[in-house]
Structure 1
Amino acid sequence: MEGNPTESSDWRKGKALVECHMYMWTNHIACDVIFVVGTEKEIIPAHKYILITRSSVFEAMFTGPFSTTREIILSDTDAVVFKDILKFLYSDEIDVSSENVTAILILAEHYSLHNLEDMCFQFLESHLSTQTACTAMETGHAYERSGLWEIAVDYIEMHASEVLQMTSSVSNLCHDCLHRLISSAQIDVKENVIFNAAIKWAESECGKRGRDVTPDALRDILGDTLFHIRFPLMSPDFFVNSVSRTGLLTEVERNAILETILCPKSKSSSFSGEPRKFVVRRVSRYPVHGEEWKYDWSYDDAVAFKCDRKIQVLGCILYGPKTEAKAEYTIKASIKGESQFTTTVEARSDDVTYDVMFPNALNVDANIVYTMTVTISGPPSFKGLCGMTKVVADGVTFWFSETSRSTNHTTTASGQIPGIIFKIVT
């Protein structure tokens, strides 16, 4: 019959409901509302029915007593992001990226798209990087998502050297978030990096607030945060050539700080000179333990390892007594023949493992294989089982392998040395 669509011309054939909706939207079939979006005034048609089913805001917009006309102007909205939002409303699919997550989250909140908000929060949590950490922290703070905020803070404290030198990221933080980082006792970074980040942030804030960048303006904007920068920990050269010349500090403050730098015992400055406490981290390669591991002072337990970031090894984790409630072990330990030392440790079976801290931290470069060796004298201990050859701990990837130095038969699969205690070098 003429005028009827043939089987081959029916675009609905083989399409699910969502696919039909998407086809109608992308081909502008029976659209009954038009959005004029962005500074370029891009025309984006849509269907009221679909929007109403997904958003209470659109429902009020189209059905309430103050319902709008067929054409809706959104001059302050990015057209690309708005089309992403519409795609989600039609299909439940959206491509969230580091570049668009903030813009999508703003519109998701505006249109009460709670599922999309959750997707954005989950994206930020699972895609933390030096580029996104500040965005995640600020987002967690602004939306009162404590879990996201805490994860982001931990990440920044761990990668502070890289994150705080990214001016564009730091400048997006509010004062409360900046203060939280600069006042942290655990942030792992040199004080000059903290100072530079604070200055760059304050300069950016001056621009946002329409103020000239002057020493008084910078100090006013930083407020109490300035007094959490630990100037006495800086080198005399950096303080004199980089800090003093900004004019941020008074002459009395500069003289007192310099006196404290040159003579720490004087403590003339009101600014703290207490070193920030770095975070001690651990990597464990055995998920389970059991059976007995015996020792002979003439045999060594050893494991080879490398990691993808520069770290400092602070010590090792060893298994404690299996057959006795409490026991004493004598341990001779070294890494690649360096930092060799002997110590005696009392261990309890309830704890399963015990720590052996090296007298001095040992620098370990990225992607270089090192061998940790221990010689132990003492009663039988637990041993590790089901060993893993690749472990990610606090953003650092470790690879473990076997070594001929292990004459007491510790391997990647089972044995001693279940873990390493380390600090990330920034």
Structure 2
Amino acid sequence: MASSPELDWQCNKSLVQCLEYLFTSGLACDVTFIVGECRTRISAHRTILVCRSPVFYAMLEGSLAEKGEIIIPDISKKSFSLLLGYLYTDEIQLTVTTVMSVLSAARKYCVDQLVKICEEFLKSNISVENACLLLEQSYMFMEEKLETDCLRFIHDSREKVLQTSGFLELSDACVKSITESDNLAVNESTVYEALIRWSEAESCRQGLQLNDNNRRDVLGDILYTVRFPLMDATYFAREISFRDILTSEEISRIYRIGKNDMFNSHNFNIKRRHKPKPKRGQFDSISRFSRTRRARRYIWNSRSGSDSISFKSSEHVYFHGLLTYGAHEGSEKITIGVYREGGNTVYRGSHEITRSTYCKVVFDDVISVDHGETIDVVIHGGIHATAYGLDGKSRVEYQNALITFSNSTLYPCVCTNTSRGQIPGLLLSL
């Protein structure tokens, strides 16, 4: 039943304001919908609907027009009200929790402009916090494009999304779509730990006790999306081999795969996941000194003829370049070499530095560094710098990686080491 109209609802109002009042007040409505599972009554105006949607035109004025109250069982009251409000005003306030159902309704009633608005909202509002929610909704409403966009975002964000509460609330189908992908470039231990957390949440939802047998049961085939044969052997032995997540036969098989790549892998995937491509120019500076001191006579004297340091990372990283202290003469050319274990040359190039306090030396090529791999960085011939570092840190945290520095054994140097000297930092990305 319409409420009593305000006396001045038409005065000094725009067309949109008057139409909005007609809708929200229920004044002069001539069609009623029974909406959603709760069968909520929502009234509207035929003229507005038929001129905004070809589907509403067919429902209300076409040869097969429905008579009396119209039942809309598959759309919630909230979403249907938002749809009608847009038809009256060309305005809508979308949220992450409502956009998918509104998009589905807009598609159903061929409101093309609202479809575009919803798609743009989704494109610009996917985040670490809501990516899993949107993935679940895209799966529910069969929005394949959004599903692809969500999965791409999750793969790019990697372990950040796997650690959210939203991941724990996903359906098993959506969990599997994430963890089975070759594009999920994380350590297998990260995938395993995320699935264990999800299995515990799912066990609670099903009222099951938290034990390994139930974790295994709720995971089902999703467990095989963890590429156990590629997992760090020490981690596997310490965290998995003595649990009941895998059977003794499966554990034995994984050990045998590790020793012989030709051994039948059975259900276990032994294909390595794709590593994300690094983006040139997008990196972080990792500093290894706590203090900087001006060199005596403003010149760093490298008695060894070179400056060098070694590092390794607990996670796969990309090595973009290094930091140096500024040149004494205002500019100086230096030669930088980067070497893997055994002395294999990864990079060697000439670069010019200025007199700035710190100079960023960016390599011509981005270097991929596997976790646990030792890399030697050498400034051949040393550097005539105005400063040097003190109180060096042997370990520096970088996001979820631990960078460990050590003295170079390939190119040992007296002046530069883990505690003092040159090469104050690295340019890295994950």
TM-score by length of 2: 0.57
| Partner in structure 2 of residue 127 of structure 1 | 125
| Partner in structure 1 of residue 415 of structure 2 | none
Name the CA distance, whole Å, in 2 between partners of 1:39 and 1:144: 23
Change (3 A) 1:315 1:117: same
| Partner in structure 1 of residue 320 of structure 2 | 315
Q: Which amino acid aligns with 1:37?
A: V
Change (3 A) 1:359 1:31: closer
Name the CA distance, whole Å, in 1 between partners of 2:322 and 2:112: 45
User: SS where residue 276 of structure 2 aligns?
Assistant: coil
Q: Which amino acid aligns with 1:93?
A: E
**Structure 1 residue ranges without an equivalent (≥5):** 1-7, 286-296, 300-309, 319-327, 334-340, 363-372, 378-419
Q: What is the CA RMSD across the aligned residues, in angstroms? A: 4.9
| Partner in structure 2 of residue 354 of structure 1 | 364
Name the CA distance, whole Å, in 2 between partners of 1:229 and 1:361: 18
Among candidates 249, 259, 266, match of residue 265 of structure 1: 259
Among candidates 2, 9, 12, match of residue 11 of structure 1: 9
For residues 223-262 of structure 1, the aligned pairs below 5 Å read: 223=221, 227-232=224-229, 233=231, 235=235, 236-241=237-242, 244-246=243-245, 249=246, 251-260=248-257
Among candidates 342, 349, 370, match of residue 345 of structure 1: 349
Q: Which amino acid aligns with 1:254?
A: I
| Partner in structure 1 of residue 392 of structure 2 | none
Percent of paired sites with the same residue: 27
Change (3 A) 1:45 1:121: same
User: SS where residue 82 of structure 1 aligns?
Assistant: helix
Once the two structures are TM-superposed, the CA of residue 20 in structure 1 deviates from its matched residue by 1.5
The question of 1:282 aligning with 2:297 is answered no
Segment drifting more, 89-98 vs 31-40: 31-40
| Partner in structure 1 of residue 102 of structure 2 | 104
Q: Which amino acid aligns with 1:106?
A: S
Note if contact 1:135-1:173 (Cα within 8 Å) is conserved in structure 2. no
Change (3 A) 1:93 1:229: same
Once the two structures are TM-superposed, the CA of residue 39 in structure 1 deviates from its matched residue by 4.5
Q: How many residues are aligned here?
A: 315
Note if contact 1:167-1:200 (Cα within 8 Å) is conserved in structure 2. no
Name the CA distance, whole Å, in 1 between partners of 2:153 and 2:428: 16
Segment drifting more, 178-187 vs 44-53: 178-187
Name the CA distance, whole Å, in 1 between partners of 2:269 and 2:11: 72
User: SS where residue 34 of structure 2 aligns?
Assistant: strand
Once the two structures are TM-superposed, the CA of residue 62 in structure 1 deviates from its matched residue by 0.9
| Partner in structure 2 of residue 389 of structure 1 | none
Change (3 A) 1:63 1:181: same
Once the two structures are TM-superposed, the CA of residue 422 in structure 1 deviates from its matched residue by 3.8
Q: Which amino acid aligns with 2:239?
A: F
Name the CA distance, whole Å, in 2 between partners of 1:298 and 1:316: 21
Change (3 A) 1:113 1:218: farther
| Partner in structure 2 of residue 189 of structure 1 | 186
TM-score by length of 1: 0.58
Name the CA distance, whole Å, in 2 between partners of 1:238 and 1:109: 48
Note if contact 1:281-1:422 (Cα within 8 Å) is conserved in structure 2. no
**For residues 58-112 of structure 1, what are the alpha-carbon distances to aligned partners after superposition, in whole Å with 9 as ceiling and x for unaligned?**
1121123332233223355322222111111111111111121222222222222
Note if contact 1:311-1:423 (Cα within 8 Å) is conserved in structure 2. no
Note if contact 1:329-1:376 (Cα within 8 Å) is conserved in structure 2. yes
| Partner in structure 1 of residue 35 of structure 2 | 37
Once the two structures are TM-superposed, the CA of residue 40 in structure 1 deviates from its matched residue by 4.4
